[in-house]
Each structure stands twice: as C-alpha cells, then as structure tokens.
C-alpha cells in the first residue's frame, strides 16, 4: 500500500504529465498554424509521450493500492513569437518537470518507499535525455537564427520522428 504523502504527490504528477501533454499539443497546433508540419509532428510525438507517462503514473498509483484523483488541467500558452521561442519554452518546461520528478524522488526517499524509488528512476533518466534533446534542437535553431533554409531543413528532419511507446513490454 502506498503512503498518503506519496499518493498525493503522485496524483499531482499525473496532473503535471497531462498538463505537459496539453502544452505540447498546443505547441503542435501553433506549428501547424505557421506551416511548420515537421515541428508540429515533433510536438505531437511529445504529446503522445507525455500521455504515456501520465498513464504509467496512473497505473502505478492504482497498482500500489492508491486512489487516482484527477484534477483540472491548467491552461497552456497558445501563442509564440517563433520556433526559437517555442523551444526556449519547451526547455524551461522540461527543466520544471525534472524538478517535479526530483521532488517525487525526495519524497520517496523520505518515506523509505523503495518501490516508488525504483519506479521513478526511469523518469529521472528520461528527463536527462529530454533536456539534452531539447537543448540540442534549441542550439541548432539558434545557429540558424530560427529562419531561412536551415529552418526548412530542420522542419523536414522533425517530420521523421515517430512515437514509440517507451513502456511497451514493461509490466
């Protein structure tokens, strides 16, 4: 059985993961509106990943005898000044999520909840990768000043990204 403090924190994380999904879907819509189908695709895949994360947390809470309590999703930004702005906001958001995951680990450590510590380790590792990927894209966008032929080339590259369920085959 999961302890109350951990259950509350995990429910907050479920909400945060749904918020992340909603944010990335909004960013995808923004990219569609400015004709950047590749960047829209990249963000759509992010959206799908965040839904997978939220479902994993959801199933974990239920599997540990807890009670999932869904909360309203906070409104997300819908307008940006360009591609660089979107990825700057994405990096800030991923850094925020890293902090939230680290906070969960801190609670699991305080509560001596070894099962949750084990569960969270995947997410900690994932956040390192997420931040690095977004930083690389942002650095590339800044090199090309977010415009011109370089932007079109990047947009084409972003179109190739496909969703792969990170939890396929994991019990």
Tell me the residue range of the domain where 97 lies: 4-158
CB 120 within 8 A of CB 153: no
Cα angle 129-98-34, degrees, rounded to a multiple of 5: 70
The helix/strand/coil state of 73 is coil
What pLDDT, on a 0 to 100 scale, did the predictor assign at position 169? 79
CB 18 within 8 A of CB 73: yes
* Within-domain flag for 30: yes
* Within-domain flag for 171: no
The helix/strand/coil state of 145 is coil
pTM of the entire structure?
A: 0.95
Provide the 8-state DSSP code for 167. T
* Within-domain flag for 88: yes
Q: Looking at the 3D structure of the chain, how many domains does it have?
A: 1
What pLDDT, on a 0 to 100 scale, did the predictor assign at position 28? 98
The pLDDT tens digits for 88-126 are: 999 999 999 999 999 999 999 999 999 999 999 999 999
DSSP symbols for 113-128? -HHHHHHHHHHHHHHH
- The CATH number covering residue 102 comes to 1.20.1260.10
């Amino acid at each position: 059985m999961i302890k109350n403090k951990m259950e509350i924190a995990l429910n907050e994380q479920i909400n945060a993961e749904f918020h992340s999904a909603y944010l990335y879907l909004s960013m995808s819509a923004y990219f569609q509106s400015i004709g950047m189908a590749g960047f829209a695709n990249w963000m759509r895949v992010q959206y799908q990943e965040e839904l997978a994360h939220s479902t994993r947390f959801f199933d974990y809470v239920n599997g540990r005898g807890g009670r999932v309590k869904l909360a309203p999703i906070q409104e997300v930004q819908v307008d940006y000044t360009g591609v660089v702005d979107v990825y700057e906001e994405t990096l800030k958001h991923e850094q925020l999520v890293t902090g939230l995951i680290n906070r969960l680990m801190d609670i699991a450590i305080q509560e001596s909840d070894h099962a949750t510590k084990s569960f969270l380790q995947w997410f900690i590792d994932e956040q390192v990768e997420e931040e690095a990927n977004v930083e690389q894209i942002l650095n590339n966008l800044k090199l090309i000043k977010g415009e011109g032929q370089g932007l079109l080339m990047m947009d084409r590259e972003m179109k190739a990204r496909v969703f792969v369920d990170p939890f396929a085959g994991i019990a």
